Amino acid sequence: MNQRRVAILRFTLDAVCVLIFVIVGRRNHEQPSNIAGTLRTALPFLIALTGAWVGAKAWRAPRSLVVGAVLWLVTVVVGLGMRRFAFGDGIALPFVIVTTVLLGLLLVGTRLPKRIKR
């Protein structure tokens, strides 16, 4: 598979990971699972993820753990900042912790090399 296709698929997977995080969170808090609400919750993190992809030039090594770590940290910090200051939504400490852990598992964990035991 060529590098461009890998990068497009990896970015798509990262965006889906953010959406999964948001959908599960909204369901756990018994918020409506409508598209508008889900997108409003996801938007700061998707914008942050996209900016991180561009800033880190993630398309050069989209499967890299280092790239995944950069994307994770930028998505969490910028996404939470945007959520608070641009969208006016809350960022209580438990939400910050859950966001940090789950996005780390999703954005970095999906880049972990697969080990096959023989």
User: 9-44 pLDDT, tens per residue?
Assistant: 999 999 999 999 999 999 988 888 789 999 999 999
Measure the CA–CA gap between 84 and 99, rounded to whole angstroms: 14
Q: Is the pTM value of this prediction over 0.95?
A: no
The answer as to whether 92 is a domain residue is yes
The answer as to whether 116 is a domain residue is no
The answer as to whether 7 is a domain residue is yes
Q: Can you give the pLDDT at residue 31?
A: 82
Mean pLDDT along residues 72-93: 96
Task: Record the tokens describing residue 78, joined without a space.
Answer: 């910028």
Mean pLDDT along residues 45-64: 97
The answer as to whether 84 is a domain residue is yes
Give exposure, 49-73, as e/b (b: 16+ Cβ within 10 Å). Answer: bebbbeebebbebbeeeebbebbbb
Which position has the higher pLDDT, 59 or 116? 59
Mean pLDDT along residues 92-103: 96
Instruction: Provide the domain count of the chain.
Output: 1
